[in-house]
Structure 1
Amino acid sequence: MSILDPLAARYATWLSLPPEATNDTAGEDPENVRAMPVVLRIDRDPLPARTPLLEAAAAAAIAVCLDPRAEPEGPWHEEVDTWVRGRIRKVSRRARGAHWAAVQELPGVTVEVDGAAARALVPGRVAAAPREVSRLQISGSELPDDEPGPVPADTPVLWCNPHVPMTAGKAAAQVGHATMLLAALLHASGQHDRLRAWSTRDFRCAVRTPTAERWAALHPGADPDLAWRTHTVVAVRDAGFTEVAPGTVTILAQWP
């Protein structure tokens, strides 16, 4: 039994929805909208490199979900479980200095990769976000592209859609979705040893942008089960509330 089981159960259905259905919020009470805050440390000087920052955000998001404190009887369980059973919204915000220090006191997990840091917080109602979070800016997360090196051996790769530019904030939310889906499908397919081994490496992953040809070859199209069986690939399909069109596949997560 995994806290991510509901996510695995509805994965194929979500991927097959028509684009206009992905952001249907009819009947949703705005007061009860839930999201995981993902705080990116973006100092003025020096700016963090984009790829390590996204890799830190991706690892932090799944680390919160699979933390022992999110297990039944743990202090985070109710909030994480309620959130996973609904839309897995994430809201990325940027922080530095005292504001970055303040969010370290809130429940969550901080991950640092090559000097870049991100902290994923325990999800909750957006309307009830603590002041340490609500005062942080959502905009202003543009970072220049960088040139990451080769993918380390035995490391999951999160492939960013080469046709869809995203700010670092948007991409951070998407790669966080990707690691959650990857972990959910690993557990659902009985690959528990691989999932445990990944956790011992602090859920490290590589974020890369593929060629258009490689993206097309990995894309699950209309058969997500086949893509998982043949390429161990899962797709993140965005609801389209910000930056991208509804139904856009933003990330393909591939297990090595």
Structure 2
Amino acid sequence: MSSPFDLPAAAAASDAPAPATASDAPAPAPAVGGAAEDRDTRPQYVLPLVVRLERADPPARTDALETSARAVLTLLADPRTTDPDGEWTERVAAWEDARIRKVVRRARGGEWRKAGELPGITVTGPGGAEVRVFPPIPLDGWPKELAKLQVSGTDLDDPEPPAPVPDGVPVLWLNPTLEMSAGKTMAQTGHAAQLAWWALDDAHRGKWAADGFPLAVRTAPTAAWPALTDGRLPVVRDAGFTEIAPGSATVVADHPALHAR
């Protein structure tokens, strides 16, 4: 939980105390100074993500996981975040200065429409999954439109097995030995995508963004998991507050550019 962030072999702690589904990790070392415990004393922010979950037409699980990851990347690359005087720049910097928390909630019907009226970005997956990401907010500063949304019950399935991943597409590999709800896994894939973003240089970030953030989420083959977590690639490790044991490696961010260094 308190280990420093070290690129590229990142091992980020994740998850916030129940009932929130969240990722909670050290900020990237290049972005901030001070020890990890110093970040715990700073004002804490959370990145809200809301998935549209209509009763009659829920998204496929993999589409939702991939869309959540793209939503996080889209916010990180948005000019409102990257420009020095951007509307969200200060809040994102404050969020990254402390613990990197993400909370996934679900909405349908009127709740989804009201959430869409708040500043944010809606990302739609190839299968129709919709995820809206909002700029970071203080842990105790949730807008009423989001505060009332439910965290639990975000359980999704894939009607068909995911297709093979095209060559050259970044993959967020899920731990094959863990069982996590869709909402928790969406937070984890969003965090893994952020670790990959931090690990890339500006040229590779720009190309990934220009291409529309292609990526895939797949469960790793059991035999391949030890090699994926050997320290060469960014790894999300869970703090163990909800669903799984502390220290569990949940997702590995495998971007082709990370193998070329």
Range of TM-score over shorter length: 0.7 to 0.9
Looking at structure 2, the residues matched to 244 and 172 of structure 1 have their Cα atoms a distance apart, in angstroms, of 15
Secondary structure class of the residue paired with 2:130: strand
Whole-angstrom distance in 1 between the partners of 2:185 and 2:151 = 13
Matches within 5 A, 1:36-185: 36-71=47-82, 72-113=84-125, 114-145=127-158, 146-185=160-199
Q: For residues 172 and 25 of structure 1, do their structure 2 counterparts lie closer, same or farther at Cα, with a shift above 3 Å needed?
A: farther
Mapped to 2, the partners of 1:25 and 1:47 lie a distance apart of 41
Provide the TM-score with structure 2 as the length reference. 0.81
Do the aligned partners of 2:44 and 2:95 also contact (CA within 8 Å) in 1?
no
1:39 offset after TM fit, Å?
Answer: 0.5
Pairwise CA distance, 1:211: 1.2
Aligned residue for 1:182, secondary structure, equals helix
TM-score under structure 1 normalisation? 0.82
Structure 2 CA distance for aligned equivalents of residues 171 and 237 of structure 1: 12
Unaligned runs of 5+ in 1: 1-8, 228-232
CA contact (8 A) 1:32 1:127 kept: no
Instruction: Report if the CA contact (8 A) 1:34-1:123 is conserved.
Output: yes
Per the alignment, residue 211 of structure 1 pairs with 221
Q: Does 1:193 align with 2:206?
A: no
Correspondent of 1:35 among 29, 46, 57 = 46
Q: CA deviation at 1:63?
A: 1.2
- Between the aligned partners of 1:82 and 1:160, the Cα distance in structure 2 is 29
One-letter amino acid matched to 1:211: P
**In structure 2, distance between residues paired with 1:170 and 1:143:** 11
Kindly state the Cα deviation for residue 44 of structure 1 after the two structures are TM-superposed. Answer: 0.7
Matched, 1:202 2:197: no
Does the 8 A contact of 1:178 with 1:251 survive in 2? yes
The structure-2 alpha-carbon separation of the partners of 1:210 and 1:129, relative to structure 1 and needing over 3 Å to count, comes to same
Q: Which amino acid aligns with 2:5?
A: R
**Unaligned 5+ runs, structure 2:** 14-24, 27-35, 257-261
Give the CA deviation at 1:184. 0.4
Q: Which has the higher helix share?
A: 1
Q: Which residue of 2 aligns with 1:11?
A: 6
User: What is the CA-CA distance between 1:14 and the residue it aligns to?
Assistant: 6.7
Query: In structure 2, the residue corresponding to 1:203 is in which secondary structure?
Result: coil
- 8 Å Cα contact 1:36-1:124 kept in structure 2: yes
Amino acid at match of 2:89: H
Q: Which moved more, 1:193-202 or 1:172-181?
A: 193-202
Question: How many aligned positions are there?
Answer: 229
Query: Matched residue of 1:236: which SS?
Result: strand
Q: Which moved more, 1:195-204 or 1:34-43?
A: 195-204
Identity of matched residues, %:
41
Note closer, same or farther for the CA distance 1:14–1:179 as it changes in structure 2 (3 Å cut): closer
